[in-house]
Structure 1
Amino acid sequence: MTLEEIIDHRKTLARTCVTKAVFPDTTNHHDTLFGGTALQWMDEISFIAATRFSRQNIVTVSSDRIDFKHAVPAGSVVELVANVVEVGRTSIKVRVDMYVESLYEDGSIKAITGYFSFVAIDEDKKPTPVLPQSFLDQYQGK
Structure 2
Amino acid sequence: MPTVADTHIVNRERVQPTHANNYESAHGGIVMKWMDEIGAMSAMRAARETCVTAQMSRVDFERPIPIGNTALVESYAYATGRTSVRVRIEVSREDPRTGETEQTTSAYATFVAISDGEPTEVPELTVKGEKCRELRDTALAEEPER
CA distance in 1, matches of 2:52, 2:94: 31
Letter in 2 for 1:131: P
Structure 2 unaligned runs (5+)?
Answer: 125-146
Higher relative CO (CA 8 A, sep ≥ 6), structure 1 or 2? 2
RMSD: 1.5
User: How far does the alpha carbon of each residue in 1:25-78 deviate from its partner, in whole angstroms, 9 at most, with x for none?
Assistant: 100110010000000000000011100111112211111110001111111012
CA distance in 2, matches of 1:122, 1:23: 36
CA distance in 1, matches of 2:46, 2:36: 15
Specify the SS of the correspondent of 2:118: coil
Displaced runs of 4 or more, over 6 A: none
The count of aligned residue pairs is 124
Structure 1 partner of 2:109: 116
Shift of 1:102: 1.8
Shift of 1:106: 4.1
CA distance in 1, matches of 2:93, 2:35: 14
Q: Highest CA radius of gyration, 1 or 2?
A: 1
Structure 1 partner of 2:48: 55
Structure 1 partner of 2:133: none
Structure 1 unaligned runs (5+)?
Answer: 1-5, 133-142
Of the three residues 122, 126, 131, the one matched with 2:118 is 126
Specify the SS of the correspondent of 2:60: strand
Pairing 1:31–2:14 present? no
- TM-score (structure 1 length as normaliser): 0.81
Report the identity percentage: 28
Change (3 A) 1:121 1:104: closer
Shift of 1:13: 0.8
- TM-score (structure 2 length as normaliser): 0.79
